[in-house]
Amino acid sequence: MGGILLFDGVCSLCNHLVDFVMKRDKEKYYQFASLQSEKGQSLLKEYQLEVDLNTMVVIENDKAYVKSDAVLKVVPKLTGGWFILGAGKWVPRLIRHKLYDVVAANRYRLFGKKTTCRLPTEEERSRFLT
């Protein structure tokens, strides 16, 4: 089994990130669920994470990663040279997480917010957890 990416389902930036990952995840390693969904809530409880819509969560090998650590787990799996962003692991976590928090705190204002969570298309359904 591959990884799971949990995202804020009403966040436009987060939905664009899901589109971005799906397009570049040629191995179809990641499956997706919104943090607001029943499955997302269940996984947050299972991994003893707070219900925090301000972070993306990646679950791999029975371990949960949040904020910039989650991003750094995803980029090596993407085609097109995005693995280079993995060099961010050399930036201290405190700085990476602070930058992540600034973007997260302003994401609705900068990128917009949807009134409902994303509904996957027919082609995407197999990659979304229910």
The phi, psi pair for 65, rounded to 5°, reads: -125, 140
Average pLDDT over residues 94-101: 93
Residue 118 has pLDDT above 90, yes or no: no
Output the pLDDT for position 82.
Answer: 73
Query: First CA to last CA across the chain, in angstroms?
Result: 16
Residue-range domains of the chain with CATH? 3-118 (3.40.30)
Q: Exposed e or buried b for every residue in 73-84, given b needs 16+ CB within 10 A?
A: bbbebbeeeeee
Residue 121 has pLDDT above 90, yes or no: no
Q: What is the pLDDT of residues 37-65, one digit of tens each?
A: 999 999 999 999 987 778 899 999 999 99
Mean pLDDT of the chain: 90
Output the pLDDT for position 1.
Answer: 66
Pairing of strands 30-34, 3-7: parallel
